């Protein structure tokens, strides 16, 4: 057996593909001009039929449209090739009365020498292609192109958001953008390419008419034979040429329809088709039984109906038996695995690991996370991580979900680094009905409070769900209650989860867009730990750090003057003041705030003391009690008006005041005057003033 010489390269069929493509296109144009002998026409017709079959098979095996993205361009070339063959065959038929063996075979063998049958068969093919397949494929291509182009900006924004949040790397984002653009280009091109097939069908009808009329006229003028023989000869040749052209055209039209109706899948069309058709044996059994029942209707042929119906019933029975066998095998395998599994030797190192986020479920809540039982808790938790990345600008560690049989059935615990931070008791097979303020008919249920926001609510059985909705309650399923609670807990403790590793990952991500500020700031001006503490201070007050570039710019500006983390945090807040105002603005864009009395603010400013742990307010118990009493009253009144409580004060006392009130009023936001942007309307909805005796006591 001969071997390839050492150092030689294997022959590559695509090495000269550019030259071959150019020669092919020029050759197609040449067919429109240069006369073609019959043997060459047979050769080209065979190529046309083969290429059409290959295209149909490729579309059947494609798992997504972009795997055959060259299809619109190929459709134009193959349509031009087919039209060129039509022109060449027309010239050969009219000039010589011959058209090669392939056309002759279609004209005599396929239609059995009867030109009337040939005309009818050709017209049926044209109707199928033009009216059914081409029309449907064109409409689908038009709609797909429109929806793809409309969705393009949203997809690009989603990619940018995930890139900014660190969900995607720069390379993954580029690949996603390129794929999205290619999808839009593909469906746009398919919308135009589908018009080629329609035009080809119209041209085929015109060519048939021209060939028959022209051939009949030429035969009569040349006196070749009697009129009927001339008409029969040229009609058979023309119909043969039309059929040999329309069959590949029909294949291409079918491929076009398959391509524009194909959706992305993990398998080819055959796998999807049979997998989904045979996935419901009960439907097959019912269809087979209905077919067998048709045998009872007088006049229906019994043999074909019995064969088809019996085959479907037998297939359905076999599929049902196979489903039961697979289910039994799975259960037995699971049981054997439990029995025969060796007892794992516990690695002492595993005991040192601490789960950053852990959700424990009681036995009654396990179905919420069991995908085989329809539970989607794991997917919703993953979506929560993505939402927090978009809102707060940090990537959370994975939330582990596991059952805890020691818990009551309806209880769940949420732990951060093994420490219990939230727990709630739910009632399985019930829904939570929350008072929306527009309830006009109370329903019976077990009184409780919604865990995330403390709103009064009722646990209502599933049978009364519709009634509670009609009565004006907001009805929430248990999984949504759990997810909402966990989301709010994570937001409140996000600063605890921001380690130096996560901060370094955030800096590495933003370094692709703002390399200069990162290199200037860390470690030349601030350490990684200092940046971490600033970001933690922001997250502690639920301020998003997604605009990390602006925060780092502010730190780079002020770090040469001070290394105090609290002071740097205030500078960072001022830099993202527009974001903070938007966070606390109402529906009209205004900023409703609670202000401090001038005398109270002066007293608080004079009582600031700087300790090692930061600035604090050293005020007397009398002032503190009076301040908390006023805050409680104003916060309650703001809540009744539908406003989230926000206190506006001077820059010097903002942070000490927040530290003083965060234990008693954890949801209270405190803003400084310099954090209010110019175009935001500030509306005072309340004011806090301390009793005069308390201030007099301090003065004394």
Residue 608 maps to which CATH number?
3.40.50.12790
Whether pLDDT at 372 is above 60: yes
In a domain, 340, yes or no: no
For residues 295 and 297, what is the distance between their CA atoms, to the nearest angstrom? 5
What pLDDT is recorded for position 313? 83
Q: What is the DSSP letter of 347?
A: -
Q: Is the pLDDT of residue 229 over 90?
A: no
Identify whether 49 is part of a domain.
yes
Query: Which residues form the domain of 282?
Result: 278-325
Q: Are residues 288 and 268 in the same domain?
A: no
More confident residue, 36 or 229: 36
Work out the pLDDT band at 286, boundaries 50, 70, 90. confident
For position 114, what pLDDT does the model report?
65
pLDDT at 2: 46
Mean local confidence (pLDDT), 382-402: 86
Final residue in a domain of this structure, among 517, 545, 575? 575
Q: What is the dihedral of CA 260, 262, 264, 265, to 10 degrees?
A: -170
Q: What percentage of the chain has pLDDT greater than the value 70?
A: 77
- How do residues 111-154 score in pLDDT, each as one tens digit? 565 667 767 777 777 777 666 666 666 666 676 667 666 666 66
Mean pLDDT of 277-303: 78
Q: Which of 21-30, 199-208, 263-272 is the least confident region?
A: 263-272
Check if the beta carbon of residue 645 is closer than 8 Å to that of residue 546: no
- With beta carbons less than 8 A apart as the criterion, state whether 651 and 673 touch: yes
Nearest in space to 394 (alpha carbons), one of 570, 538, 585: 538
In this structure, are 590 and 693 located in the same domain?
yes
Shared domain for 515 and 624, answered yes or no, is no
Residue 489 above 80 pLDDT?
Answer: yes
Contact 137, 187 (CB under 8 A): no
Query: What was the pLDDT predicted at 550?
Result: 92
What's the confidence (pLDDT) of residue 159?
73
pLDDT band at 8; cut points 50, 70, 90: very low
Distance CA 351, CA 153 (A): 48
Q: What is the mean predicted confidence (pLDDT) over 442-447?
A: 86
Q: For residue 12, is it within any domain?
A: no
| 3 state DSSP class of 348 | helix
Q: 202-206, 366-370, 425-429 — which is least confidently predicted?
A: 202-206
Whether residues 296 and 206 share a domain: the answer is no
Mean pLDDT of 216-220: 68
Same domain, 207 and 264: yes
Going from the C-alpha of 595 to that of each of 146, 601, 648, the distances in angstroms are 52, 9, 5
Residues 6+ apart with CB under 8 A from 175: none
Q: How confident is the model at residue 188 (pLDDT cuts 50, 70, 90)?
A: confident
At 196 the three-state DSSP class reads helix
Predicted pLDDT at 530: 92
In a domain? residue 9: no
286 CB-side CA count, 13 A: 4
Average pLDDT of the chain? 79
Mean per-residue pLDDT, 156-181: 73
- The verdict on residue 550 lying in a domain is yes
pLDDT of residue 615: 86
- Residue holding tokens 């009565």? 471
Domain boundary among 517, 552, 575: 575
Query: CA torsion sign, 603 to 605 to 611 to 616?
Result: positive
CATH assignment of the domain containing 516: 1.10.8.540
69-83, 192-206, 490-504: which range is least confident on average? 192-206
* Residue 544 domain-assigned (yes or no): yes
Highest-scoring range by mean pLDDT, 25-34, 139-148, 172-181, 667-676: 667-676
Is 456 part of a structural domain of the chain?
Answer: yes
pLDDT score for 373: 74
Q: Report strand pairing: 646-649 vs 614-617.
A: unpaired
Mean pLDDT lowest among 36-45, 217-226, 261-270, 605-614: 261-270
Instruction: State yes or no: pLDDT of 63 exceeds 60.
Output: yes
What is the reported pLDDT for 198?
66
pLDDT of residue 414: 93
pLDDT tens across 77-94, in order? 888 888 888 788 777 777
Select the more confidently predicted residue: 366 or 6.
366
Buried b (16+ CB within 10 A) or exposed e, 481-506: bbbbbbbebbbbbbbbbbeeebbeeb
What is the structure's pLDDT at 224? 59
Residue 554 and residue 693 in one domain: no
One domain, residues 217 and 193: yes
Tell me: do 130 and 32 sit in the same domain.
yes
* End residue of a domain, out of 575, 593, 616: 575
| pLDDT tens digits for range 505-518 | 889 888 888 889 99
In the sheet that holds 591-596, the strands lie side by side as 669-672, 646-649, 591-596, 682-688
Q: What is the pLDDT of residue 368?
A: 87
**450 and 377 in one domain?**
yes
Q: Please state the rounded mean pLDDT for residues 548-555.
A: 92
> For the chain, how many structural domains are there in total?
5
Q: What is the pLDDT of residue 671?
A: 94
pLDDT for res 613:
77
Average pLDDT over residues 393-414: 88
Residue 8 maps to a domain? no
Structure tokens, 285: 């059994």
288-302 mean pLDDT: 80
């Amino acid at each position: 057996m001969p071997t390839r010489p050492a150092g030689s390269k294997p022959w590559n069929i695509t090495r000269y593909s550019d030259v071959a493509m150019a020669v092919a296109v020029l050759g197609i144009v040449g067919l429109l001009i240069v006369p073609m002998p019959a043997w060459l026409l047979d050769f080209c017709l065979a190529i046309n039929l083969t290429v059409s079959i290959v295209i149909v098979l490729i579309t059947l095996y494609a798992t997504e449209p972009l795997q055959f993205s060259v299809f619109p361009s190929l459709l134009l070339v193959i349509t031009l090739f087919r039209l060129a063959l039509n022109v060449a065959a027309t010239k050969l038929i009219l000039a010589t009365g011959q058209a090669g063996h392939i056309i002759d075979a279609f004209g005599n063998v396929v239609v059995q020498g009867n030109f009337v049958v040939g005309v009818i068969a050709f017209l049926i093919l044209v109707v199928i292609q033009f009216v059914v397949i081409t029309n449907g494929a064109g409409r689908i291509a038009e709609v797909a192109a429109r929806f793809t182009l409309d969705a393009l900006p949203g997809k690009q924004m989603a990619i940018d958001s995930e890139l900014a949040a660190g969900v995607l790397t720069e390379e993954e984002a580029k690949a996603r953008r390129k794929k999205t653009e290619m999808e839009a280009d593909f469906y746009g091109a398919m919308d135009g390419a589908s018009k080629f097939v329609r035009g080809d069908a119209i041209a085929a009808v015109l060519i048939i008419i021209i060939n028959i009329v022209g051939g009949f006229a030429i035969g009569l003028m040349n006196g070749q034979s009697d009129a009927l023989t001339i008409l029969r000869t040229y009609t058979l040749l023309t119909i043969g040429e039309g059929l040999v052209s329309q069959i590949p055209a029909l294949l291409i039209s079918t491929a076009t329809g398959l391509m524009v109706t194909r959706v992305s899948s993990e398998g080819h069309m055959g796998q999807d088709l049979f997998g989904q058709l045979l996935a419901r044996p009960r439907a097959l059994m019912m269809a087979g039984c209905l077919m067998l029942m048709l045998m009872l209707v007088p006049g229906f042929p019994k043999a074909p109906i019995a064969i088809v119906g019996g085959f479907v019933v037998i297939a359905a029975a076999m599929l049902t038996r196979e489903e039961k066998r697979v289910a039994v095998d799975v259960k037995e395998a699971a049981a054997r695995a439990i029995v025969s599994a060796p007892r794992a030797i516990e690695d002492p190192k595993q005991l040192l690991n601490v789960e950053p986020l852990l959700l424990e479920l009681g036995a009654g809540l396990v179905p919420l996370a069991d995908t085989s039982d329809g539970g989607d808790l794991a997917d919703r938790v993953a979506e929560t991580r993505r939402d927090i990345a978009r809102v707060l600008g940090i990537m959370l560690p994975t939330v582990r979900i596991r059952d805890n049989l020691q818990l009551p059935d309806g209880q769940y615990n949420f732990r951060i680094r093994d420490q219990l931070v939230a727990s709630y008791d739910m009632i399985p097979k019930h829904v939570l009905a929350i008072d929306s303020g527009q309830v006009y008919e109370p329903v019976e249920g077990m009184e409780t409070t919604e865990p995330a926001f403390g709103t009064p609510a009722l646990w209502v059985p599933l049978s009364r769900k519709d009634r509670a909705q009609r009565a004006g309650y907001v009805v929430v399923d248990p999984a949504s209650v759990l997810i909402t609670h966990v989301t709010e807990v994570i937001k409140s403790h996000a600063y605890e989860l921001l380690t130096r590793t996560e901060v370094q990952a955030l800096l590495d991500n933003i370094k692709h867009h703002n390399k200069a500020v990162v290199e200037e700031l860390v470690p030349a001006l601030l350490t990684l730990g200092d940046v971490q503490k600033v970001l933690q201070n922001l997250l502690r007050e639920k301020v998003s750090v997604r605009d990390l570039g602006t925060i780092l710019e502010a730190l780079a500006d002020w770090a040469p003057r001070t290394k105090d983390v609290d002071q740097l945090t205030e500078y960072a807040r001022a830099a993202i003041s527009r974001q903070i105002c938007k966070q606390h603005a109402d529906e009209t864009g205004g900023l409703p705030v609670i202000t401090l009395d001038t005398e109270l603010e002066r007293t608080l400013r004079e009582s600031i003391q700087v300790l090692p742990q930061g600035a604090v307010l050293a005020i007397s118990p009398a002032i503190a009690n009076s301040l908390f009493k006023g805050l409680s009253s104003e916060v309650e009144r703001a809540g009744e008006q539908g406003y989230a409580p926000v206190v506006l004060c001077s820059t010097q006392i903002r942070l000490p005041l927040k530290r003083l009130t965060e234990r008693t009023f954890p949801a209270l936001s405190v803003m400084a005057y310099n954090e209010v942007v110019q175009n935001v309307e500030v509306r005072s909805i309340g004011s806090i003033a301390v009793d005069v005796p308390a201030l007099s006591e301090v003065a004394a």
